[in-house]
Structure 1
Amino acid sequence: MIVRTDQIKALANETRMNILRVLDDPGRHFAHQESADPVEIGVCVQLLAEHFGVSQPTMSRHVELLKRANFLSARRRQKWTYCSRNEAALRDYNEWLVATLKLKVE
């Protein structure tokens, strides 16, 4: 079950927001990934850590919070974990936020 507070907490951190931003176009940001197609399979957590200049355990924590919020999906292939955005969950959250705050979207 998705809890909105988990989603709000996940987006309350600039690094996690930036992770979602770069994963919006993984082919552009991670074309150098050799182990798997970043668009088809996702981006390796280690490459995300390198991209943001943080340790792998720190990036794993960010990824875990985004997964708990259902904004990221992660899949294991051999010894690596690959992440991709969950577009349906992001759209759902956006619609909920707009409806809840009664914001005008132009």
Structure 2
Amino acid sequence: MDTSIQMKAMSSEVRVTILRLLAKPHEHFADQWSADPAELGVCMTLIAKALGVAQPTASRHLEILVQAGFVTVAKKHRWSYCARNEPMIAEYLEWLARELAIGKGSQGAV
């Protein structure tokens, strides 16, 4: 995965908030009736509502998170459901920890 896309994804408080909300789908999206939010994911409409933004705005933020690999989208009937991609988030955090490690031997280009 391109870490520059991942860093862009994490540079927005709205996108970080989306990841926080999706971390506890039953807590934040208990009113989702069309599918279990922990199993299939959360409907994009409910994410927009939770953020207090228009659906196209939420969709754009979600698209960046999908490009970064942090969110997956599953389609069921008319709806698209979003869920965190935990392995990719963990991989990014491990990469970031290595990059920011004190005493790191090599320095990459900026």
d(CA) in 2 for partners of 1:47 and 1:72?
Answer: 15
Q: Where does the alignment leave 5 or more consecutive residues of structure 1 unmatched?
A: none
Shift of 1:61: 0.3
d(CA) in 1 for partners of 2:22 and 2:46?
Answer: 12
Secondary structure at the aligned position of 1:75 is classed as: strand
Corresponding residue of 1:55: 54
Secondary structure at the aligned position of 1:73 is classed as: strand
TM-score by length of 2: 0.91
d(CA) in 2 for partners of 1:63 and 1:76?
Answer: 14
d(CA) in 2 for partners of 1:58 and 1:84?
Answer: 18
- The percent of aligned pairs where both chains have the same amino acid is 46
One-letter amino acid matched to 2:66: K
Rg comparison, structure with higher value: 2
Is 2:13 aligned against 1:14? yes
Corresponding residue of 1:91: 90
d(CA) in 1 for partners of 2:65 and 2:89?
Answer: 11
Residues 14-33 of structure 1, C-alpha deviation per residue, up to 9 Å, x if partnerless? 00000000100001110110
Shift of 1:38: 0.3
One-letter amino acid matched to 1:21: R
d(CA) in 2 for partners of 1:26 and 1:96?
Answer: 26
One-letter amino acid matched to 1:68: Q
Corresponding residue of 1:74: 73
Q: Where does the alignment leave 5 or more consecutive residues of structure 2 unmatched?
A: 103-110
d(CA) in 1 for partners of 2:58 and 2:75?
Answer: 16
Aligned residues: 102
Residues 18-73 of structure 1, C-alpha deviation per residue, up to 9 Å, x if partnerless? 00001000011101100100000100000000011101111110110000000000
